[in-house]
Each structure stands twice: as structure tokens, then as C-alpha cells.
Amino acid sequence: MPTDNKRIAGPEDSISYRLFKETSNESVLSKINNLKNNIRSDGRKTNEQRKIFLKCGVVSQAKGSAYFEVDNTKLIVSVYDPREIPKKTDYSLKGELFCIFKYAPFSCPNRRGHQQDAEEKQHSAIMKRALESAVCRHEFPNFQVDVYVLVLENDGSALSGAITAAGIALAQAGIPMYDTITSATLAIQGSTKLLDPTLEEEALCTIATHKSDTETGYDSHGIIVLAILSTHEQISEFYQLGNLNLDTLNESISILMNATKEIVPLVEKCLVDYVNKTFKANGQS
Amino acid sequence: MNLCEAEKTFILHGVEENFRVDGRERSQYRPMELETNVVAHAFGSSRLRLANTDVLVAVKIETDVPSVDQPDEGKIEFFVDCSANATPDFEGRGGEELATEIANSLTSAYRSTKAFNLSKLCILKGRKCWKLYVDILLLECGGNLYDAVSLAVKAALWNTDIPRVLAVNLDGNNVEMEVSDNIHECVKLDIVPAPVMVTISKIGEQCVVDPSAAEEQCATASMVVAVSQDRFTTVLQSGSGSLHPSTLRESLKLGLEIGSKLDQALIEVLKQKPAKKQIGFLM
Amino acid sequence: MLQEIHIRLAETRDNTPLAINQRVPKIFTPGEIISEQQEFMRGHGTYEEDIYLKASVAGIKEQVNKLISIRPLKSRYNGEIGDVVVGRITEVQQKRWKVDTNSRLDSLLLLSSVNLPGGELRRRSAEDEHMMRQYLQEGDLISAEVQNVFSDGSLSLHTRSFKYGKLSQGVMLKVFPSLIKRSKTHFHDLPIGASVILGNNGFVWISPTMVNQEDNVGGFTQNLEEVVPRGTRETIGRLRNCILALAQSNVMLFDTSILYAYEESLKYNVAELLLPEAMVDVAILTQHKLNLSEYS
């Protein structure tokens, strides 16, 4: 993205007051241990996802768009018409997706700049990889489809939400696709696996904790994002961070596979509803 | 360079047969050559050659202020430069996408405290820390970049000497730091748990490691796993393409096995006491 | 089963040069004066300045009567009529294909200089023009002969013989064109069960030996179904690694040297031939054997 000098940048150095809270090894452990009876702070079970709200056709200018909301994670995806790949010299047989993932400046506890930072760039790349295998790219050679994601509010699992929503937006835009694409996030701390984590839970799981000296054994921690084409059972993206062993990964794959399957009917219903609505509207006119 | 169908078929059948075009088995690496301490101005450097892939890594150290949310940790940053020397495709901004992808994967792989402990790089909590700049230069591309880059980065960090800090004083708001004059008096980092990455490509129905440039063209999907002491620090897919869950599990298992073995081989080599003789860039 | 992973330090590399008892000819560098006399004629790789004849490329001097030229040590392929080349189709155009043959400019293969399926004397119709991509498409490999050299140095190829045409399953290697020894034939059906085409342009093609070559009319068939048996595959793999070993040590490539290298390499398994020591060893032994056979 080109630098936008006219936009007012935030103050050069600012520190969120939240950072002055005490976070220590013990506090992380105690928070995790509080979950022992599998009930999280918001009353969910560890393997329960938050309620998802989906709607497509929210941006009238865009060819396809979707709004995704789980509790306090809210994001908008818009998809624009295919256009010729700019500044491309050689002919490419397959079309490309161009993804931009952006947190709104006010979406996180810390203010985000209006330019993409490294994390946002990486998320864009992950989205691109995940979505490209869902789209019939051979049907629009030498074209690119732009997918823009704006996270309005981030309370965890924004990336997987963005992938699911982008799948809907692409479908609504009439881009040929092999399958619906759904995605879910799993956060792991020790033996606790939290499906669809909130921002706080995500933060808990990026910290490596030391177990008490009496317990030998290994403390795994990490975050996994999985995107899947459900009917073909093809994993189009698997992205893991942290420090995990093979068994934990294998278990997590199963959990995530089930979670993504739960979302599929929602996605389908959202699209069917949209079609019905337009159909009715057209019939009336 | 695009292969024709017949060549791809030949490679595919070879993988199926567990006898690849160059005679390797599916889980076999090509021989590698490593040299450390090749750049005089760097605090640590290495050069790794894997068949036609050639990677040069140099580590520079500067002091910095620790970030607010991690006041007792230093910093590490990765930069990848896809030099147009490697292939003309990298000319201009051509290699940028690949470069950020590799740099991002390294950042993710080194993020866990278990894999790379940044707290050793802290000089004075909240005030001063070391920042490692890891610059990766691709001199030649012959397939399997991730693996080669991660090995070279680990070797360069192994080779890195951090200046010994003798005293730190807090003078009002300024941090005064005294660094040892003796260039031989240095601190080494604990690099043993640092991750190595293994690329696993799915060709036909099988998974192979260390794909050559030609084999990369035949792959339907590839995974990159970063392995640190028998645990995964990062798993990601490279390039577009999708795989079945069972293939994913299989490639994770293979990646873990190969990664541990690769790591072991690298550490063994690094532990050999390097002689004075330098080869540098003379072939 | 897991194989051992070889990582070694650069300093343990032994740079054993091939001990060849050959006189190294003088190598001219660009700008170097070749002759101060004006009686010589200016050939390739030279230029005249004032009264001097100077080299414009790094290479060795070749003199034919009064014509002096400098042949560069490493260069892209300079085609000559009659050369056998292996090339890759890069573009399908109107009535012709563009072929990458490692020369400075892409070579051309005209629709009129290929044998289309159905016999040599078949007329070429407009339909054939539309079908061109079905005969040869981008990425396909062909073997061909140089028919003509255009004034700009680009080559015109032809495949008007049953031995030329589209290549099927196998491996292509790239070596320096100067390493390919010119000989009567560049097609070798080696007695070990594989065929090698040593293209003059430095592209080497290794493939399983065709049993019934007569069926292969016009050479536009590819057998994608056939699985190359393990034994043949091993031979091809070994040949590939041997040729690369020879090329790395700058041993000339021709049927005898390849066969010698193959014999010498038998003490290693195929994958071991990727190790630098084994490569040098095979090259030295081959060179030695070649020297012996030359003197006997």
C-alpha cells in the first residue's frame, strides 16, 4: 500500500495502560487452572464455539461482501470484480487472489497503524493461500480478484473468521468455487484446548509457561488455524504457532475438523437466504 | 522453466517407486555444505549450499529499547533478500513476496520462548536490550529454500558472538553501558533448541522431503514444518494447494522425524571445531 | 527408513583438480592484444583497434590460415548446420514453434520442417495450423537437427527424420555446450538399457531405450501410461549422476566417457553419487581410463 501522508497518524509512541497490569507465569497458569471444570470465563465449554452471526451483501458497492460477528469479533469482507493483474509481464494461466487483511486502528487494545504491519501482511498471505485452493482459478486466467478484510473489532479468532467470511463473499460475488471454505482457531495451553479463543485466551496461549518443578512433562502452548474445503475434505491451510508435540497436533486436527464442519450449515444458510431474498425482491418489482 | 507432461510423469512414477530422478529415496536429503564465519563485519555468519541452492546469512547486533509488553526480552528480526543474482525473476520487486513469506515463517518459528529465548538478550529490564538483525541473502535458488534458509540461520546464530557487557549504570535517565574491549570475550547464545524447517511436498500420493526445483513443479501441495527438539514451533503451507487430513497427519509425522534428524546432523557439524582455513566464495 | 543426512563443513572439501597432463593453452582476456601485424583477418571474438587485433571474449586462440578467432571458454550455444540439439518449446506461433536451445536467441521450428503423423509426403493444411498445439505445446521437449542458421544467429530446426521429434519420459540435464564432444552420432543406445541424446547445445536427454522405434512415426507420441521399470530407472538415475559428475570436473561427454563413468560408479549406489567426493572420484577414474585407452 502506498504511504498516505494526508492521513493523520497517531502519536509516535504511545503505550496502552493495559500493559501495566501484572502478567506473570503464575497468573497465566491460574487462569488456565480456573478452567479445570471446562467452563470458560464467558460460560462456554472449552470445545464450544461462540455463536456466529453471518450476513452477506452488506457492502453495496462491492461485488460480494460478508459481515461476520462472534461476540466481540466483528469483521467485514468485500470482494471486487476480477480485473487484469496489474504490472504483470508474463501471462499466467491461473487467476490470482489479492488479499488485504487489516485491523481497524481501533480494533485492538493497542492502536493499529493504518498501514499494514508484519502480522497483517502475514495474515493476508495466509488468507491468500487458504482461499486460492477453493477458487476455480483456471476460469479467470490472467485476472486477479481483490479480497479486502477489515476487522472492526478483534476479540480473538479474527483470521479464521476472515477466511470463512471471505468464502461467503467470494461465493456471493459469483466467483466460481469448488467448495465452501470454513475455518476455525484452536488455542492450546498445557493440556487445555480452547476452541474459538477470545483475545485474552489467545494471549494466554502464546506465552510459554513453566510447569511447577514437581511435574515433569512438557507444557505445550500454541495457536492453530485450520481452513478446510468441507465436502472434499481438503485442508487448504494449516497454520500453527507456538510449541506443540505431534500428538497434540493430531488431536487438534480432529477438534478443528469437527468445528469447521459445524460452521458449514451456517455458511450455506447465509448464502441461500441471500439468494431467496434477492429472488423475492426481484419478483416483487 | 516449465516441465512437460512426460517429464512430470517420469518424476511422479519415480516418487511412487521410492527412487527419485537423482536416485534418492523419498525421505532423503541432498548433501549440504556449510561454512560459518564467512563475513568479517558480521557478529556471526554462515553460508549453506544445498545442491544448487545457496544461502548466505549474517547476523548484526545493535542495542535497542525493549518493547513495552516484553520489557525483559531482546529482539530478533529476519530480513530476506532475494537477490536478482539468484534468478532474473527476482529483479525489482519480483522476489518480494517470496522474501516476506520466508521472513514471516522464520519469525513465527522463532517466536516461542521454548525455541529461542530472547530474555538472554536483555541488558537492562525495560531500558536496553540487544537486537539481532538476521539478514538472509539468497545467492542461488535451486529448490527447497525454506530448509536451506532455516539451517543457515541456525548456523549463523550458533556462530554469533554477543559482546560481553561488563557494567550497566543508570545515570539519571540514561543507560550507560560498558562493553568489554577484548573481542574474544563474548557471550554465546543457546542455539540448540532453535528450530529447523523441513519442507514436505506431496507428489502424487506420496510425501517427499528436499524437493529439487523440478520436483517442486510436480508437487500438488507442500507443508513447511519448523521443528525444535521434537516439537513443532510452526506449521504452515507454502504455495497454494490443499491436502487431505490424513496426508496432513502423515506429513507432520514425517516432518518431525526428518526435522529431528536434520537438526542432529547440523548440530554435529557445528560442534566440530572449525579450522582456520577459510573457503569463502571460491569454488 | 530414514537415510543419513550429510552436512559437512566447507573446509573439509578437497578441491582435487583433475590431474590431466595436458598443456594449458594461453587464454586471452577481452582487450588483450592478439597480434600487432595487420596481415591477419578478424574472426569471431576479436576486434580491431588502431593497428592491433584484440580479443573481445575470454578464450583460446584459433587460427585458420590468416583468420584469427577467439573461442570463448564458456558460452551459450552457437549453432552450426547439422548439429543435433535438444530443446524445449517456449511458444506456439503462427506456423512455427519457438524453441529454447540454450542459444542466444530462441530457435525456430517451422511447421513445414516437421514430419506430421501420417507420412512424410503429407500436405500441410490449414487444419494442421490449428492443431499445432496438439503436436507440440509449451514445455515439450524435442530433439531436432539444425537446418539453417539465420543471419542474426538464430537457428532453424527440423525434425524430418524418425529419430527426431518429441521426447517422452526421461530426464534432461543442462551442461556447458563445450563439454559435448562432436561425433558422428549423438544418439546412443547404451548397452546398459538406456538411451542418451547428447545435444550439441549442451542439453542431454536420458531415457529408457525404445524397443519398437518404427512405430513412432513422426515422433509425436508420448507414453504417459507406461511406468518405467525400477531397473531402467536406476540406470537412468546413475547415468544422470555420472554425467553431472563428469560435467562438474569438465570431462568431455561422449558415449565412451559416459560408459566408463557408469562402470566406475558401480561401486557407489545411485544416491551416493550426489556426494562431492564420489563425483570427483568417478570423474578422476574415468579420465584415467580414457587416458589409458587413448595411449594403447
**Residue A253 within any structural domain of the chain:** yes
CB contact under 8 A, B265 and C237: no
Host H or E run for residue C39: none
- Disruptive mutation site among B3, B7, B154, B266 for chain C (greatest number of C CBs within 10 Å): B7
Vertex A259: Cα angle to A253 and A265 (nearest 5): 140
Backbone angles phi, psi at A265, to 5 degrees: -60, -35
Neighbouring-strand partners of residue C196: C188, C206
Domain B5-271 has CATH 3.30.230.70: yes
Length of chain B in terms of residues written: 283
The mean pLDDT value for C92-99 works out to 87
Which residues contact residue C19 at a Cβ distance below 8 angstroms, ignoring those fewer than 6 apart?
A: C284
Contact C139 B3 (CB under 8 A): yes
Q: Which three cell numbers stand for residue B106?
A: 522464520
Query: Average per-residue pLDDT in chain A?
Result: 83
* SS3 track for chain B: CCCCHHHHHHHHHHHHCCCCCCCCCCCCCCCEEEEECCCCCCCEEEEEEECCEEEEEEEEEEEECCCCCCCCCCEEEEEEEECCCCCHHHCCCCCHHHHHHHHHHHHHHCCCCCCCCHHHHEEECCCEEEEEEEEEEEEECCCCHHHHHHHHHHHHHHHCEEECEEEEEEECCEEEEEECCCCCCEEECCCCCCCEEEEEEEECCEEEECCCHHHHHHCCEEEEEEEECCEEEEEEEECCCCECHHHHHHHHHHHHHHHHHHHHHHHHHHHCCCCCCCCCCCC
Position A55: which residue type? K
The parent domain of residue A179 ranges over 41-283
3-state secondary structure chain A: CCCCCCCCCCCCCCCCHHHHCCCCHHHHHHHHHCCCCCECCCCCECCCCCCEEEEECCCCCCCEEEEEEECCEEEEEEECCCEECCCCCCCCCCCEEEEEEEECCCCCCCCCCCCCCHHHHHHHHHHHHHHHCCECHHHCCCEEEEEEEEEEECCCCHHHHHHHHHHHHHHHCCCCECCCEEEEEEEEECCEEEECCCHHHHHHHHCCCCCCCCCCCCCCEEEEEEEEECCCCEEEEEEEEEEECHHHHHHHHHHHHHHHHHHHHHHHHHHHHHHHHHHHHHHHC
Helices (H), strands (E): how many in chain C?
4, 18
Closest CA to B69 of A1, A157, A16: A16
**pLDDT above 70 for C119:** no
Residue A142 pLDDT > 90: no
Distance from CA of C122 to the nearest CA of B (A): 27
How far is C-alpha C27 from the geometric centre of its chain's CA atoms?
Answer: 24
pLDDT in tens, A91-125: 677 888 889 999 998 888 877 888 888 888 889 98
Specify the CATH number for the domain of residue A279: 3.30.230.70
Q: How many domains, chain A?
A: 1
User: Closest chain C residue to B268 measured between Cα atoms?
Assistant: C7
Label residue B269 by pLDDT band (50, 70, 90): confident
Residue B78 pLDDT > 50, yes or no? yes
In a domain, A34, yes or no: no
Nearest-Cα distance to chain B for C269, in Å, is 8
- Is residue A20 one of the residues assigned to a domain? no
Q: Which of residues 229-258 of B touch A (CB under 8 A)?
A: 230-245, 248-249, 252-253, 256
* Residue A15 included in any domain: no
Identify the top-confidence range among A10-24, B153-167, C30-44: B153-167
Instruction: Judge whether A17 lies within some domain.
Output: no
Separation of alpha carbons C116 and C218, rounded Å: 6
Q: Which helix (H) or strand (E) holds C191?
A: none
- Does B119 contact chain A (CB < 8 Å)? no
Alpha carbons B127 and A246: distance in angstroms, whole number: 39
pLDDT in tens, B205-247: 888 998 888 888 888 888 999 998 888 889 988 877 888 888 8
- Residues from chain C contacting residue B261 (CB–CB below 8 Å): 2, 5
pLDDT greater than 50 at residue A213: no
- Average pLDDT of the residues in A261-267: 91
In a domain? residue A22: no
Establish if A88 belongs to a structural domain: yes
Judging by DSSP bridges, how do beta strands C41-42 and C67-72 pair with one another?
parallel
Contact assignment for B108 to A234 by CB distance below 8 Å: no
pLDDT(A162) > 60: yes
C-beta atoms of C8 and B278 within 8 A: no
User: According to the model, what pLDDT value does residue B148 have?
Assistant: 92
Yes or no: say if A134 and A179 are a contact pair by the CB < 8 Å rule: yes
Instruction: State mean pLDDT over A22-34.
Output: 65
| Confidence band, pLDDT 50/70/90 cuts, at residue C208 | confident
Q: Does the residue A131 lie in any domain?
A: yes
Band (B115; pLDDT cuts 50, 70, 90): confident
Cβ pair A243:B100 closer than 8 A? no
Class of domain C27-72: mainly beta
> Which has the closest alpha carbon to A47: A247, A238, A210, A188?
A188
Whole-number pLDDT of residue C59: 86
Per-residue pLDDT, C1 = 42
